[in-house]
Structure formats: C-alpha cells, structure tokens
Chain A
Amino acid sequence: MKHSRMRAHLAGILALLLAGGGPATFAQETHIGGLTGEASRGKQLYRRYCVGCHGPLGDGRGENAVWIDPKPRNFVTGTFKCRSTPTGALPTDEDLYMSVTRGFVNSNMPSWLPLTEQQRVDLVAYVKTFSSSFREEKPAAPVPVPSESAANQQSIQRGSELFQKMNCWACHGKEGRGDGPSAQTLVDNRGYPIPPYDFSGGTRFKCGESNQDLYRILMTGLDGTPMPSYASGLTPAQAWDLVHYLRTLQINAKHKRPTADSEQKHRSESKPVGEELEGRANRF
C-alpha cells in the first residue's frame, strides 16, 4: 500500500519532469543584444505571420508555397543563406534576426521591421526549434571581417581581374548581368532553378547592403545555392578588391553605395523603404 503510494508519487514526479523536459524545444531561448527570445511566444507570432509560407512544420511548405518563387525556406534542414558563419555552419541568432528584419527584396519574404524587436527575437527562437541542428551543433565562430582597404582605381582593377580568374563571370556574366554561360543551368538545393544575382539591376543583396555585408557574402557563400564561399580561395585583401569592383557593376543602383566611412551617415538618412533596411536593426 505504502509502496504503491510512493510509486504513484514517483510516477507523478517523473511525469512532471517529462512534461517539463518534453517541450524543451519550446523552452529554447535566443539572446540578441539585451533581449531574450522565447520560442513559446515566437510560436504564436509564427502562426500569425509566417505559417502561410514556411508551413506549420517549418518545412517551407505552407499553403502559399506553391505560388511563390523562390520558395520559402525549409527550416528543418538548418541550411540558411545569410550567415556570418563559415559555409556549412548554422547562422548565429543575430544572422537570423537580421534576415527576419531585412526581408528578401527579390522574394516574397517581407521585412518584419514593423514588429517589435522583442517579437522578432521571439520568432528567431521559434524558427530555431524546427531544426535539431541548433540543439546538436555548437555555434560556429563568425568569419572575421577585417577593416576595408582603400577603394581606389588599383583595387578595382585587381578586383576586375579576380572576377575573371575566380570564374564569377561563368554564372554572373561578363558584366555581372546574371547572364553567364552557366546561369541557365543553376538549381538550388531543392532542385529549383535559381538565377545568379544581376548586379546591373542594383537591387539590395539578400544578405545585406553595406560593403561589409558584401565581403561577408563572398567569404561565407549563400548555403543551399550555387553561390559558393570563397573563404579558401581569396585572401582578405583580394575579397575587398572584389567588393570594390562589384560596386562598379551596380550601374543602376538607386541608392548611394555605402563605404566604410559613409556607413554611419547612411544609416541615419531617410530613404524609401526597400533599399536600406540593413543596419538600423542593429540599434539596441
């Protein structure tokens, strides 16, 4: 009698522990700046804002996915385009936060800037619960971004030569119009055709806008797409030369191109939405 009572107690405690441990995924937290994101709150927001595209299971198969090109990200695989971490690694919380804040101008993924910072941090916490990788893998160290070299004519010239040498043109085309010989054949990791970025259009990059972002794009690659990481192929000095050259290809860029020193000023300028969401999200 006494024993069975105890057993019942133990079972109860166990059940409680399990209940506490079961939704460990939901208890997952995210820290960005001074804010702590909670997946349980993020879940509510996800249902309201994101589920139609990214799907209830986070597999990118929401009810709207069929209508959308490029397809919404599948969070389950843990493969993300915009990272500060090396290719193949998971993005940092901050990377995901920036993607959610910035949106992807040339896709259906909107900028979620009107949501509060807290809400965006909560969303990131929830997005991370879809992939076990975030629980299993240790976060990788971000790729360092050394200070920018002088953007002079020589640097641009060297960059132009690297553009040839590194075969960027094979995908992006001789003038960066996204029309290289392999452009038509490219597919992403889900088998969908994916056009290389067209520099002449001058639209914002998916993964940022500043020269630092561009440097990072070259050194991390866009995982899940044919755009590779050049971390092992380029020295930092070469990468900066490429950055300076690539800027000259953006002939139709409507916005002033930010350079290292104009960056601060650039952030405080008020310009139409869509071309400059980068940066201000960092303001806490």
Chain B
Amino acid sequence: MLFRLRVILLLVLVLGALFSLRQPAHAIPAFARKYSLPCSACHEAWPKLNDFGIAFRDRGYQLGNEKDSPIWQNPSYWPITMRITPQWHRESSSNQVVDTVPGNPALGQTFQNATTHGFDFGGVDIWAAGTLYKDISFSLLPSSDSSGSFHFENAFVRFDNLFRTRWVNVKFGKFELDNLVSEKRMLFLSNNGGFYQVYHYTPFREAQFRASGPSIVQFGDAFGIGDNQLGVELSGHSENSYTRYSVALLSSNEGNPGLPNRTYDGWASFNQGFQVGKLGVQRLGGFAYFGQRPTFFNTSLGSPVLGQGLGSKSFYRAGLTGLFYIKKLDFSTVFVHGWDNVFLGTGTAANASLPVGARGPSWNGGFVETHFTYSPQLVFVQRNEIVRMSRQVFSADPRDLGDVDAFSFGLRYYPFMSSRAGLALHTEYSFVRSYKSASPLPTSTSPFGPDLRASSVFVGLDFAF
C-alpha cells in the first residue's frame, strides 16, 4: 500500500517536472505568427497591404529566409486565421414600394423609406494560408455568411519562383484577380460601403432583363472584377515588388465551382511603383478583363443542361489604377470602362431576335479612396465613387439611368499592435445613390422609378487571430 503510494507520488513528481520543463508553446495557430512580425509590418492598416506586405505576398507568403518552408516550424504550428465582425448597424433605403395599409394590397401602394437597425455579425472567415514547401504556397478560405452557410472564397496552390526566377509564378485554383487596389483588403465593411461599385457594376436595364429573364443560369451570374475567379494565373514581380504583372486564363463561370462553361476568359494587369523622395512609393497600373458568357443552353425536355452553354457573347472591363502616397496620406484610385455585348445587355439568347433598337451598354466609373494613417493604430478612411453610363441599352432611356454616386467615410482604431492577433474598432457611414433605380409603383407606366438612396451606419469590432 505504502509502496503504491510512493510510486504514484514519484509519477506525479516526474510528470510535474516534465510539464514545467516544457518549452512555451510555439504553436500559436495563425499564419502571421510564423515570422514574429506585427500586423503593421505587412499592413498599412490591416487588411490593406503596404509595400512590405505586397512583396511578401508576391513571393508566395515568404520572406525569402530559412523559415519559409513549414518544415522549419514547430510541428504543431497550424497556419490558420479567423476573422469575425460583431457589429451594430443601421440600414436605410429610400423609395421602397409598400402597401399603403399594411396587410391590404388592394388599397394601393406607396413609396416609403425602409430603415432597420440592430446588433448583428457578418459571418466568419476561416483562412488558412502559407507554404506547403519552400516555394510552394497555398491559400484556402472557407467563408460563411451570418447564417453559417459556407462557400470557398479562394482555394489555390501557387508554384513560386519557377525556373529560379521571381518573374514566373503559377497559381492554380480559385483566386482574386491581381490588381493594385484590392477589394478584399479594403477598409470598409458596411453593406453599402463594403464593396467597390465599379468592380461589380451591372447596367440597370441589364439587371432588369436578367431578373425577369427565363433563368438566371442562362446568362451566367453578374460579372464582377472584384469576384474571385477559377483558373490559372502566371505572375511575376521585381525583387522589391515595385514592378508586377499578372495574366490569367479563367473559366467563364464567375468563380462558381461545378459550373464549367466550355469557354474561357482572360485577365491581364501590370503595375509599376516609383520611389518619390520622402513621400513614399507611388504606383501606377492598368488592367483588362475580356470575357464571354453563354446566352442560352442545350436543353433536355426543355430544361437547360448545365455546363452546355451556347451562343456565347462577350464583354470586357478595362481600367487604370493608382496608389499615391504623400507621407501619412494616401490615395487609392481606380478608373474602369465597361462594355457588355447587346445580347448580354438585354438578356437575349443569341439565336433569338433582339429587342428593337437595343445596343450593347457601356459605362465609365471610378473612385478616389483616401486614407490618413495617423499611426499604425489609427486610420481615417474616405471614398468617393461614381459610375456614369456612356451608352444606354435603349437610346430613349434617360442618360443617367442606373448611374451611381457613392460616398463613405469612417475610422478604424487598433487598440494594440502585436504579432499574435488583431482587433479593430470600426465605424463607418456610407451612402449610395442609384439614379432612377427604385422599382416603379405598380400603377406607374414608366419602366423605372425614382432615385434609390441607401445608407449604412456601422459600428463594430473587427477581429482576427
């Protein structure tokens, strides 16, 4: 009995000693921790990258030192980051069609402002990224909406520095189109401000046709250069990443897995940075996306056979980008010209006849986004954006039909800066005016209504660990 007690005591002592000897765990589960760098090393203000961060990303999430391959990490290191944004927000939209007397549609309809507000959160990003081996990097980003339904925002493997040159890197999978101004890394989060209008614009008539068309799949989803696409990318960069290029071959399916379309789209972008004395790096770039979408499908007993699109028609987006730094002040600028083939613009199958007088719509848009980075922990942000139709589908349509004015401002405050996790207090106001884009009253004879004004107020916590 006494012997047994002594054995147990000894065991306890030995185990205790073992545990107290254990090295502090290096296994803190996040990608950024790998290199012991603070968020501010790679991010101007996270998630927006700075010059060092751009170079890090271009090298395939590598610093080019001996810690790059995961073989040098503690085996329990797991390159995962989560990002969640609990918030209070207020959304308001003008000119919503509602019944004059709730519950009694027979008594007629009227326009009303619709406002809602309350506590909320915007879903979860579970982001794993890093290297599989020296010069082989990856990213996998399952992202959920607030109801918990997931999609894969990106999923790719990239072979870095092929042929021992940094000018040849090949990415394969679903990824963001490489552009100087990344929508994924913007400093706006609200419903109205949290995306770039020009990266997703669809002319009013086109959206209208699509909504009333026979089937949304027939015309493919709305296209956005801000949307991640499926394909293969060839890219390269100079050593400091001031010179960068990317060309990509993409499936014509708007990044939707499981929907091959038998045609391909193309993307190209190039940008160049210049050191301007004490101001910082100024970058200028250009990009072009050329794509096509089927306008009708092979059918079986009348229903479309997925993946067997026919009568593809084309569209393109081309633009200029710039990042300008004046010390703590910087400007992200984008100009986009867009054009859709008339069949896409009117949602007409290529083997059917077009509406009389219809033309392929085209438009110009752009924005200036200003950041004042007071310190790595406090940044003020502001954006002015416009989209102007240059050619309406029908010449009789008002010139400004579907034009957009958007404006946002806010601030992000990071109470601490460390190499382990990030937290930002985010406040934002944003406003969007879409010309003549409200639904008309059922009694109206006009196909379009008054202007739609929508605004968001956002106060929240954005955290990643």
Contact = CB atoms under 8 A, between A and B. Distances in A.
Interface string A27-66: 0000000000000010010011101110000000001101
A194 interface: no
B373 to A, nearest CB: 9
A17 to B, nearest CB: 27
A272 B52 contact: no
Contacts of B66: 105-106, 203
B308 interface: no
B26 to A, nearest CB: 6
Contacts of A68: 36
Contacts of B82: none
B434 interface: no
A133 to B, nearest CB: 27
B419 A64 contact: yes
Contacts of A270: 165-167, 238-239
B64 A115 contact: no
Interface residues of A, number: 39
B277 A118 contact: yes
A104 B63 CA distance: 11
B65 A274 contact: yes
Interface stretch (B54-62, B93-101, B287-295, B359-367): B54-62
What's the dominant secondary structure at chain B's contact region? loop
A169 to B, nearest CB: 24
B419 A273 contact: no
Nearest to A110: B63
B275 A117 contact: yes
A115 B36 contact: no
A236 B219 CA distance: 76
A271 interface: yes
Interface stretch (B37-45, B252-260, B388-396, B424-432): B37-45
B65 A115 contact: no
A103 interface: yes
A113 to B, nearest CB: 5
B241 to A, nearest CB: 6
B418 A105 contact: no
A107 interface: yes
A273 B239 contact: yes
A112 interface: yes
Given A114-B240, A118-B277, A271 B165 contact: yes
Contacts of A203: 66
A104 B278 CA distance: 26
B166 A108 contact: no
Contacts of A103: 63-65
Contacts of B161: 272-273
Interface in B1-46: 24, 26, 35-38, 40-41
A107 B63 CA distance: 11
Interface in B125-146: 135
Contacts of A110: 35, 37, 41, 52, 63, 65
Interface string B355-380: 00000000000000000000110000
A105 B65 contact: yes
A48 B419 contact: no
A56 to B, nearest CB: 12
A115 B419 contact: no
A274 B64 contact: yes
Contact of B52 (A44, A115, A117, A118): A115
Interface in B89-131: none
B280 A67 contact: no
A113 B54 CA distance: 12
A49 B40 contact: yes
A242 interface: no
Interface of B: 24, 26, 35-38, 40-41, 51-52, 54-56, 59, 62-68, 135, 160-161, 164-167, 238-241, 275, 277-278, 280-281, 375-376, 418-419
- Which 3 A/B pairs are nearest by Cβ-Cβ distance? A274-B64, A273-B64, A64-B36
Given A105-B66, A280-B239, 5 more contacts: A108-B67, A118-B277, A254-B164, A273-B59, A275-B64
